C-alpha cells in the first residue's frame, strides 16, 4: 500500500512537471512576428538587403574582473568610439568568485554591458549539463541580485547569460531566464549556420539550430532570446566559438597573420548577410600573446572607422533585431544611454565561506560588507 501511494505521488509530480513544460512546435512564421517573436533562421530581420544592415560586432570577455585584467580593458576598450560618434560597446560575462565589484561598477559606468556567467563556475562540466531548474536559479537568478547589489548596478540593466564552458542545460536555464526577467542567452554555439549566419531568435517555437553542447532546449519558452555564438573557422576550417579555443591558429607571435585571420572571419559576415559578428575571448589569451592583442586592437581601430560597422553591447543587437531599421535610419538614432551610479566603496574581509573552508576571501564592493562570502543559496552573504 505504501509503495502504491509513493508511486502515485511520484507519478502526479512527474505529470505536473510535464504539464508546465510544453514541447515547442515547429515555428509558425505567420504567428511568430517581431518585436517579441522570431523563428530561428538565417534570414535577415525585416527582410533587409545586406547593404542596408548595420554590421554589429560583439566583443565579449568572460570570467572574473580583477585588478590585473582591468588594466587590459582600460587600455584597449575604454574611450573607443564608433564612426557614428557613439561609444563602442563591449559585454562582460562575469562569474562571482574573486571578482572585484568596484571594478565592475567602473565598467558599468563606462557604458559597458554587465552580464552573468554564474556564481560558482564549478567543474566538472557535467554539473552544467545535468543542472536542474533549481541549480540554474541559484547560479543565475541569484547572481543577478548579487551583481546588482555589490556592484551597484540597476537590476534591469542586467540582461544576458552565458553558461560556463558553453555548456547548455536544456530547458532549465531558459526557464529561469523567463521567470527572472533575463532577456537573452549567449551560450549556444553554431557550427553549421555560420554562412549565412543565424540571427538571434526567440524560443516561442522549436529551434532549428544545431546542438553542439547538448542538452539544448525543447520547450516553448516565450520571449526569451537566443543570441547564437556563430563560430569562427580556424586555418584548417575547424569551427571555434571562442577565439581562444581555435586550434589551427596563425603564429601566435605574428600580429599580421592574426590580423588577417580576424579580418577573414569578419568578412564572412560583412561581405555576406551581415549577421552579428562575435569576437568572444578571455583576457588571459591576449595578455599571454601580445601579438594577438595588437592584432585585436588593430581590428577594432579599423572597424571603428567603418561607416556601416558598429561595436556594441550584446543586448543592443537584440534591440535592433526587435526593430530592424535600415542602416541610414540607424545612423540617425541617438547613442545608447544608461543610468550612472555611484560606488560607496567597502573593502571586506577576511570573509569565511561554506564552500571553501580552507581559505578566507576579501571582497571589494560598493555597499556595506556582507557577513560571509556570498555563494550558492546565500547570494548576499547574510
* CB of 114 vs Zn ion, minimal distance in Å: 15
The residue among 99 and 265 lying less far from Zn ion, judged by its C-beta, is 99
Closest among 185, 277, 272 to 231, alpha carbons compared: 277
* CB of 5 vs Zn ion, minimal distance in Å: 45
Between CA 223 and CA 146 the distance in angstroms is 24
Contact range with Zn ion by CB under 5 A, out of 48-56, 161-169, 288-296, 310-318: 161-169
Q: Any contact of residue 63 with Zn ion (CB under 5 A)?
A: yes
CA angle at 175 for the pair 172 and 181, rounded to the nearest 5°: 135
Between CA 363 and CA 353 the distance in angstroms is 12
Grid look-up 549556444 returns: 188
Using CB atoms within 10 Å of the CB of residue 115, give its burial: 0 to 12 exposed, 13 to 18 middle, 19+ buried.
Answer: buried
Residues 12-51 as x/- pattern, contact with Zn ion by CB under 5 A: ----------------------------------------
Q: Any contact of residue 204 with Zn ion (CB under 5 A)?
A: no
Strand-pair category, 239-240 with 184-185: unpaired
Between CA 323 and CA 35 the distance in angstroms is 6
The residue among 163 and 292 lying less far from Zn ion, judged by its C-beta, is 163
Q: Which three cell numbers stand for residue 150?
A: 555589490
Q: Any contact of residue 139 with Zn ion (CB under 5 A)?
A: no
18's CB contacts (< 8 A; 6+ apart) are none
* CB of 164 vs Zn ion, minimal distance in Å: 5
The answer to whether the CB of 43 falls within 8 A of the CB of 199 is yes
The residue among 96 and 149 lying less far from Zn ion, judged by its C-beta, is 96
Q: Any contact of residue 255 with Zn ion (CB under 5 A)?
A: no
Determine the distance from the C-alpha atom of residue 116 to the mean position of all C-alpha atoms in its chain, rounded to a whole number: 7
* CB of 165 vs Zn ion, minimal distance in Å: 7
Q: How many helices (H) and strands (E) does the chain have?
A: 12, 15
Residue nearest to Zn ion (CB): 62
Contact range with Zn ion by CB under 5 A, out of 55-63, 77-85, 105-113, 351-359: 55-63
The residue among 62 and 283 lying less far from Zn ion, judged by its C-beta, is 62
Query: For Zn ion, which residue of 45, 54, 62, 376 counts as binding (CB under 5 A)?
Result: 62
Closest among 202, 199, 286 to 243, alpha carbons compared: 286
Grid look-up 539544448 returns: 216
The residue among 62 and 106 lying less far from Zn ion, judged by its C-beta, is 62
The residue among 94 and 221 lying less far from Zn ion, judged by its C-beta, is 94
The DSSP 8-state label assigned to residue 334 in this structure reads P
The residue among 128 and 375 lying less far from Zn ion, judged by its C-beta, is 128
The residue among 37 and 182 lying less far from Zn ion, judged by its C-beta, is 182
Closest among 313, 345, 296, 336 to 115, alpha carbons compared: 313
* CB of 284 vs Zn ion, minimal distance in Å: 11
Question: Which chain residues interact with Zn ion by CB under 5 A?
Answer: 62-63, 164
Amino acid at each position: 500500500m505504501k509503495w502504491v501511494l509513493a508511486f502515485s505521488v511520484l507519478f502526479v509530480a512527474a505529470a505536473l512537471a510535464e504539464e508546465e513544460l510544453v514541447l515547442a512546435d515547429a515555428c509558425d512564421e505567420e504567428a511568430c512576428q517581431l518585436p517579441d517573436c522570431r523563428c530561428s533562421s538565417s534570414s535577415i530581420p525585416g527582410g533587409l538587403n545586406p547593404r542596408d544592415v548595420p554590421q554589429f560586432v560583439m566583443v565579449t570577455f568572460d570570467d572574473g574582473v580583477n585588478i590585473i585584467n582591468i588594466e587590459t580593458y582600460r587600455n584597449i576598450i575604454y574611450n573607443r568610439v564608433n564612426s557614428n560618434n557613439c561609444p563602442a560597446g563591449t559585454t562582460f560575462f562575469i562569474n562571482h568568485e574573486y571578482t572585484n565589484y568596484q571594478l565592475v561598477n567602473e565598467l558599468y559606468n563606462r557604458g559597458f554591458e554587465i552580464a552573468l556567467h554564474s556564481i560558482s563556475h564549478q567543474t566538472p562540466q557535467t554539473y552544467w549539463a545535468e543542472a536542474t531548474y533549481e541549480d540554474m536559479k541559484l547560479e543565475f537568478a541569484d547572481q543577478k541580485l548579487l551583481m546588482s547589489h555589490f556592484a551597484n548596478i540597476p537590476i534591469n540593466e542586467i540582461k544576458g547569460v552565458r553558461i560556463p564552458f558553453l555548456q547548455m542545460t536544456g530547458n532549465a536555464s531558459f526557464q529561469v531566464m523567463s521567470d527572472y526577467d533575463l532577456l537573452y542567452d549567449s551560450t549556444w554555439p553554431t557550427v553549421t549556420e555560420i554562412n549565412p549566419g543565424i540571427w538571434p531568435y526567440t524560443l516561442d517555437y522549436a529551434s532549428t539550430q544545431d546542438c553542439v553542447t547538448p542538452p539544448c532546449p525543447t520547450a516553448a519558452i516565450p520571449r526569451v532570446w537566443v543570441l547564437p555564438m556563430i563560430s569562427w573557422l580556424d586555418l584548417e576550417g575547424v569551427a571555434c566559438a571562442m577565439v581562444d579555443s581555435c586550434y589551427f591558429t596563425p603564429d601566435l607571435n605574428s600580429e599580421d597573420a592574426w590580423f588577417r585571420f580576424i579580418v577573414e572571419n569578419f568578412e564572412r559576415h560583412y561581405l555576406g548577410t551581415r549577421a552579428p559578428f562575435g569576437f568572444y575571448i578571455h583576457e588571459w589569451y591576449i595578455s599571454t600573446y601580445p601579438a594577438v592583442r595588437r592584432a585585436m586592437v588593430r581590428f577594432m581601430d579599423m572597424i571603428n572607422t567603418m561607416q556601416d560597422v558598429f561595436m556594441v553591447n550584446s543586448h543592443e543587437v537584440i534591440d535592433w533585431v526587435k526593430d530592424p531599421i535600415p542602416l541610414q535610419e540607424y545612423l540617425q538614432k541617438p547613442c545608447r544611454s544608461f543610468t550612472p551610479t555611484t560606488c560607496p566603496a567597502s573593502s571586506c574581509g577576511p570573509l569565511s565561506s561554506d564552500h571553501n573552508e580552507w581559505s578566507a576571501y576579501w571582497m571589494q564592493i560598493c555597499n556595506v560588507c556582507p557577513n560571509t562570502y556570498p555563494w550558492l543559496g546565500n547570494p548576499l552573504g547574510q
